[in-house]
Amino acid sequence: MGKAFTVINDFNICIDNELSLYDTMSNKLFCTFSSKEELENTLAIIQGQYKILFNKIFILYIQSTEEYVFTYNVDSVNMSNVLLDNTILLHRKKESNTLYTINALNDLIKSLNGGVLDNKFPIDWKEYQNCILLTHAGDLKKLETKIYKIITL
């Protein structure tokens, strides 16, 4: 199974070509990036492509990049193996509402722990409240978010 590197809004994201790697977990949190002009079209595409769990789609606004992101949970059992354009798989820390990729989490731990990756290293998640952690060109990026809209299906 190969990996493809996709550029999403200037972020190099490593995406597995097939999602079967993740089939051991049935609930996936996806994040789809969009411009303001494409919000309605992006919403229609997401709803047409996936069965959304919990009947909620959150649209967040990132002021620093003037972008919007849709976050939604999908049942991986009932989905195709193709990710929508500009979409990444994320994880969420509920206590602080932090969204992150595994690569960004690893980079965060290394930056806080003197360059050492230690999966047991404690993170003060309050420092990363209401943000998305991503990596770009080897650098950790903290993108502050605020809720733009919550869509109930």
Q: What is the pLDDT of residues 119-153, one digit of tens each?
A: 999 999 999 999 999 998 889 999 999 999 999 99
7-42 pLDDT per residue, tens: 444 444 444 333 333 444 578 999 999 999 999 999
**In this structure, what DSSP letter does residue 52 have?**
B
Q: Is the distance from CB of 42 to CB of 9 less than 8 angstroms?
A: no
pLDDT mean across residues, the chain: 85
Separation of alpha carbons 149 and 153, rounded Å: 13
| Mode of pairing for the β-strands spanning 98-100 and 131-136 | parallel
Tell me how many degrees the CA angle 95-96-101 measures, rounded to the nearest 5.
Answer: 105
